[in-house]
Every structure is written in structure tokens, then in C-alpha cells.
Chains A and B, each alone.
Chain A
Amino acid sequence: MPHLAALLRVARRLAAEPTSAEDLVQETMLLAWRGFHGFEPGSNARAWLFRILFNAFYGEGRRAQRAQGWRAQRAEAHSPASTAVDAKFQEAVEIAEALQALPIEQRGVLLLCVVEGFTCQEAAGILNVPIGTVMSRLSRARQELRTRLAPLTKEAYR
């Protein structure tokens, strides 16, 4: 099933917990399947799927229940005292937590543009917002991430 992993990857960082992320992706694929007549042949199927994903996410009111619980669990599971972790793994955890700390609008843009490789124009189409909004959200997201990851960078590369 094409693009399933990419959708799940993004959904896991939008939804409050892994199971609701899977529900979100399942809903996305079923909506796409039922509404396939609405897909324009020759257009970007991947962008179409992500548009459905974000519409489903916002439509279901998942915004209100975002990541708090999952983020806390992840932080606890990967606390430095619990296991001997190498610096690379520690960095992955810190990046994930920094990402989860972003406002959902900035996180969505960052996931689309940075992780999934969409252009700002494509992300604007997916999120149904002006391209200027996408660019400013992306800029703020990068700035926020940079601030949060700066101490880690100093430690990791000391």
C-alpha cells in the first residue's frame, strides 16, 4: 500500500498516541478509497493523501488531545537514568521531544517540508493555507527547534 509508512510517520507525530495515529491513517486510507473519484489523474497522489490525513486530523478534533500524554511517556521511557544510551539515540529522543513541543501548526509544516520533502507550495495546498503562512510557520519551527536543540548540540559534540 503506497505511502502508508510516510502517512503513519507523520500521523504518529500529530496524534496523541500511537493507536490514534494508526486510526488516523486507517481513516485516511478509507476516505481516499471511498473518495477516489475525487482524485485528479496526473496530480500528486502523495500530496492528495496527506491532504486527506490533515483534514481528517483537524476534522476529528484531535488537535485538542495532541501529544501531551505520548510525549510524557516517551520522555520517561528514554530518561538518561533508565538505560545506557548512546549519544545518537539520545539525540533522536531529544529531537522527537523538541518536535512534539512545537505548536501543531508549525509541527505539521515542518513534517511536510523537512521530513516528507514537500515544497512550501505543496504544503500550502495540503494544509489549505497561503504559502506565506507555510513559510513563516516553517521559519518559526526551525527557530524553535534550533533553540531547543542548542544545548544538546553543545553536549553531543563536546
Chain B
Amino acid sequence: MTDDELDQRVRASILAEELDTAPLERSIRAHMGRRSMPRWAVAVAVGIALVAAVGLAYREFISPPTPPVCAAAAHDHNHEVANGLPREWLSDVSAIQSLAAQQGIPAEAIIALNATGYRLNRGRLCFLKNQIFLHLVYTRNDEVISVYLRRRDPDLRFGPSIHQASVDTEELAYFQTDQLTAVFVDEQSKTEALAFARASLHSLMVAAL
């Protein structure tokens, strides 16, 4: 059998096959009509969505972002307390309570914080992110902790559970009761800030603040 004879037999056999291409053509035209994204674009989009979802989940549930006002408290503590910039402070407790009352902070709150074992050293008003806070400085032995108080801010998304964060060299603890927003800053010890925050939260709860 020559090459030509063989080719002719093979060709004739295969070309004799009847093929119905109509269903396939309909399917192809339907796919063309969808104008689907290229596979690589789909893969990239899915990848980006996954990374974003993991990132958001991490931020929301594992490492919630530090509220800007709390980060501002850390910077304020660093400037005003750690670096000791000259400022006018009130040291008289009754004067501080009066200052607090002007900001809608009950005097009982100051008393409650004194029950934590720390001693109120001084206080003044300050601005954190354009909001007025009562900045109190408490001491115990060598520990110096700043407490920033104001009436509860409904825009802040944290509640009565104590949150922790680190901003630069400052350690933060913060919470909100029904009436107050409280931010605690210690430049030395996360443990100390947390302990003071716990004691304060307990005292404020007892005082129904």
C-alpha cells in the first residue's frame, strides 16, 4: 500500500464521519455573548478579594485598629508627661473635680479612680482630635499613668471590655462605660496600664458610671 493509498483510505474514513456541530456552535455563541472576564483576571480578582477579606477579618477580629483619639492620647502623654513640657496643671482635687463637672464628668468618677490605689497627682483639659478630654495624671511609687476622660462618645466603637494597644513607646488601655470614655496611657508597662484600667473600670461600674 503506497503512502497515497494509505492517506486516501484514512482521509476517506475520517471525512465520512457525520458531525453535528449545531449544539456546539450554540454553546460557543452563548459563551461569547457573556463577555466573561479572562481567567487570569478572574484569578487576580479572587486573589485580591481573599487578601482583602483576610486583612479585614484580621483588623476587625484579631487586631482591631487603635481609635485615632486613643493614639492621640498616647502622643499627648508622651509630650505632656514623659517629656514634661511646661503646662498649667491643677493639683487641687476639688478644683479638678470642678473642671471635670464643667465637662459633664461626674465628680464621683474622680473619687472612683482614687479607689484604685493610685494617687491623683494633677489634671488639666486637653484636646485630642478636636475633642476636649480631662487629662488626669495618677502616680503610684514610680509609676506615672495618664487617664483621659470625657463623656461617652457614641461614635467610638468600643464598649466596656478593656482594649489594649501600643503606640510608639506608649502602652494603652481603653474602654467606655455607659457614661464615660476612658483612655489609660503608661509609657513603661503594658501590665500597669491594664491593671489600672481594670481597677478603674471596676470602680466606675461600682459607682454606676
Residues of A within 8 A of B (CB): 1, 4-5, 8-9, 13, 22, 25-26, 29-30, 33-34, 91-92, 95-96, 99, 110-111, 114-115, 142, 145-146, 149-150, 153
Q: A110 to B7: give the CA distance in the assembly, Å.
A: 9
Shortest CB distance A21–B (Å): 9
Given A30-B31, A30-B32, A146-B1, check contact A110 B24 (CB 8 Å): no
Shortest CB distance A158–B (Å): 15
Per-residue contact bits, chain B 5-34, to A (CB 8 Å; 1 contact, 0 not): 011011101111101010011011101100
Shortest CB distance A101–B (Å): 13
By a CB distance below 8 angstroms, the chain B residues around A33 are 32
Q: Are B19 and A92 in contact, with the CB atoms below 8 A?
A: no
Q: Are B15 and A26 in contact, with the CB atoms below 8 A?
A: no
Q: Are A8 and B24 in contact, with the CB atoms below 8 A?
A: yes
Q: Please classify the interface of chain B as helix (H, G, I), strand (E, B), loop, or mixed, using the class held by over half of its residues.
A: helix
Total A-B pairs, Cβ < 8 A:
66
Contact residue among B1, B14, B25, B28 (Cβ-Cβ distance under 8 Å from A115) = B14
Q: A115 to B11: give the CA distance in the assembly, Å.
A: 5
Q: Are A114 and B11 in contact, with the CB atoms below 8 A?
A: yes
Q: Are B6 and A1 in contact, with the CB atoms below 8 A?
A: no
Given contacts A4-B25, A8-B19, A30-B31, 14 further A-B contacts (CB under 8 A): A4-B24, A8-B21, A9-B15, A26-B27, A26-B31, A29-B28, A30-B28, A34-B38, A96-B14, A114-B7, A114-B10, A114-B11, A142-B6, A146-B6
Cβ-based interface call for B155 (8 A): no
By a CB distance below 8 angstroms, the chain A residues around B6 are 142, 145-146, 149
Q: A22 to B23: give the CA distance in the assembly, Å.
A: 10
* Chain B residue nearest to A150 in the complex (CB): B1
> Could you list some 15 contacts between A and B, CB below 8 A?
A1-B29, A4-B25, A5-B19, A8-B19, A8-B21, A9-B19, A22-B27, A25-B28, A91-B13, A96-B13, A96-B14, A99-B10, A114-B11, A115-B11, A145-B10
* Chain A residue nearest to B30 in the complex (CB): A26
Interface residues on B, range: 20 to 34
Cβ-based interface call for B3 (8 A): yes
Contact residue among B3, B14, B32 (Cβ-Cβ distance under 8 Å from A9) = B14
Q: A79 to B11: give the CA distance in the assembly, Å.
A: 22
Q: A30 to B6: give the CA distance in the assembly, Å.
A: 35
Q: A9 to B137: give the CA distance in the assembly, Å.
A: 86
Q: Are B9 and A95 in contact, with the CB atoms below 8 A?
A: yes
Shortest CB distance A86–B (Å): 13
Q: A34 to B31: give the CA distance in the assembly, Å.
A: 11
Per-residue contact bits, chain B 30-45, to A (CB 8 Å; 1 contact, 0 not): 0110000010000000
By a CB distance below 8 angstroms, the chain A residues around B27 are 22, 26
Per-residue contact bits, chain B 123-138, to A (CB 8 Å; 1 contact, 0 not): 0000000000000000
Which of A25, A114, A146 counts the most chain B CB atoms within 10 A? A114
* Chain B residue nearest to A25 in the complex (CB): B24
By a CB distance below 8 angstroms, the chain A residues around B3 are 142
Given A30-B31, A145-B6, check contact A95 B13 (CB 8 Å): yes
Q: A9 to B15: give the CA distance in the assembly, Å.
A: 8
